[in-house]
């Protein structure tokens, strides 16, 4: 009777409803996390373009400082949402400090489930006294990324900051704000770049929101208990039809369902391994400063190429006047833009 009752009951139990909800949660968190870093990448490229266009007004030294800070921003944000990344404890005897070591505290975003922080915050509100524990001290090699990207004057102060990516955004904003008004540089250009930096700052809060928010523990525990009870009664419902194959069948079903549950648990924070943040950080760094030499050619004035075109045309006219055959590669009737492209390609090939 129990077996018959279970066979009628199991198809009606909506236990698998948490599977689509887990998939939906995965898609939402993964897509939102990827969109955040897409905004960071696009905004970093836009800021770099503006710095190049107004380099004469901003100044080369200031432009280089802002670009280096901008290239370090994604790494510092990655360290904030992935604590203890590439940092050694000062008291750890397994690693020996060298002359390039840089002392700093752990820049970790607070989480909603940290009981110690919650207790300390509650005591401060009630008693007005701070009982926070002393933070452990770490050290890093300043020759590694992102520390080698930071300007010398900003390295020590950035290391002491409690929110390093926010400090970098503030420093870049100050650099832009101190550029005086001049020809082709007014409040319009200044506010445009500051607006881009504000967008970068907002991405810090969005990353912290995903990192700090977790699925309620009561929901997770209840789902696990329900799944366990359902799997314990499953053999009684299948033994009549499957016989000796009941054991392997239940094992496969349990493996699939517990695997889906574990996936749902691991993707609560997509920044802990689901998204390849190291690749994204390296891509942003290359876009900002890695390809600077070749990217500068896009900002050269057309007069420079036009001078080369005139020189080539002079050689062609001289050859025609002397009844000589001189092939420059230009076709009759080509417009000026096509000539510019041809000279640019010829110049790159010769280099």
Per-residue pLDDT, 18: 53
Radius of gyration (Cα) for the chain, nearest Å? 31
Asked if 147 and 110 touch (Cβ cutoff 8 Å), the reply is no
Asked if 160 and 117 touch (Cβ cutoff 8 Å), the reply is no
**Tens-digit pLDDT string for the chain (351 aa):** 555 555 555 554 555 555 545 555 666 777 888 899 999 999 999 999 999 999 999 999 999 999 999 999 999 999 888 866 678 888 777 888 888 888 888 777 666 556 666 666 666 677 766 656 677 788 888 999 899 999 888 998 998 898 999 999 999 999 999 999 999 999 999 999 999 999 999 999 999 888 877 766 777 777 788 888 888 888 887 777 778 888 888 898 888 888 877 776 766 777 776 678 889 999 999 999 987 767 777 777 655 556 655 666 666 677 666 655 444 443 333 444 444 454 445 445 444
Cα–Cα dist 168/200, whole Å: 10
- Which residue from 169, 141, 140 is spatially nearest to 154, judged by alpha carbons? 169
Burial 297-306 (b: 16+ CB within 10 A, else e): eeeeeeeebe
Asked if 267 and 29 touch (Cβ cutoff 8 Å), the reply is yes
Angle (deg, nearest 10), helices 164-177 and 60-81: 160
Per-residue pLDDT, 331: 35
Asked if 106 and 138 touch (Cβ cutoff 8 Å), the reply is yes
Query: What phi and psi, each to the nearest 5 degrees, are found at residue 104?
Result: -160, 165
Residue 24: partners with Cβ closer than 8 Å, 6 or more residues away: none
Cα–Cα dist 188/58, whole Å: 14
Per-residue pLDDT, 62: 95
Per-residue pLDDT, 316: 62
Per-residue pLDDT, 134: 72
Query: What phi and psi, each to the nearest 5 degrees, are found at residue 129?
Result: -120, 145
Query: Which tokens is 228 given?
Result: 């366990």
Per-residue pLDDT, 328: 40
Classify the C-alpha dihedral 29-31-37-40 as positive or negative.
negative
Per-residue pLDDT, 236: 80
């Amino acid at each position: 009777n129990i077996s018959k009752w279970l066979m009628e009951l199991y198809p009606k139990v909506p236990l698998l409803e948490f599977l689509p909800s887990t998939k939906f949660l995965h898609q939402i968190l993964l897509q939102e996390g990827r969109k955040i870093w897409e905004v960071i990448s696009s905004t970093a490229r836009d800021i770099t373009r503006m710095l190049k266009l107004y380099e004469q007004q901003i100044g080369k030294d200031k432009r280089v400082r802002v670009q280096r800070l901008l290239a370090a921003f994604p790494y510092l944000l990655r360290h904030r949402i992935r604590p203890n990344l590439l940092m050694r404890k000062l008291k750890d005897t397994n690693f020996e400090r060298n002359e390039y070591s840089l002392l700093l505290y752990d820049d970790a975003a607070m989480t909603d489930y940290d009981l110690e922080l919650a207790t300390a915050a509650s005591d401060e509100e009630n008693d007005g006294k701070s009982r926070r524990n002393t933070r452990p001290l770490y050290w890093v090699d300043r020759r590694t990324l992102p520390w080698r990207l930071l300007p010398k004057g900003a390295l020590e102060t950035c290391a002491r900051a409690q929110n390093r990516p926010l400090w970098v955004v503030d420093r870049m904003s100050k650099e832009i704000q101190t550029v005086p008004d001049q020809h082709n540089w007014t409040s319009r250009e200044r506010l445009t770049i500051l607006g881009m930096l504000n967008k970068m700052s907002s991405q810090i809060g969005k990353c912290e929101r995903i990192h700090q928010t977790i699925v309620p523990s009561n929901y997770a525990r209840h789902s696990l208990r329900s799944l366990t009870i359902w799997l314990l009664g499953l053999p009684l419902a299948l033994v009549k039809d499957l016989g000796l194959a009941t054991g392997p069948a239940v094992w496969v079903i349990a493996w699939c369902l517990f695997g889906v549950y574990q996936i749902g648990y691991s993707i609560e924070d997509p920044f802990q391994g689901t998204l390849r943040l190291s690749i994204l950080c390296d891509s942003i760094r290359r876009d900002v400063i890695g390809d600077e030499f070749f990217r500068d050619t896009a900002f050269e004035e057309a007069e420079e190429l036009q001078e080369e075109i005139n020189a080539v045309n002079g050689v062609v006219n001289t050859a025609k006047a002397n009844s000589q055959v001189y092939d420059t590669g230009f076709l009759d009737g080509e417009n000026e833009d096509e000539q510019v492209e041809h000279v640019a390609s010829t110049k790159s090939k010769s280099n």
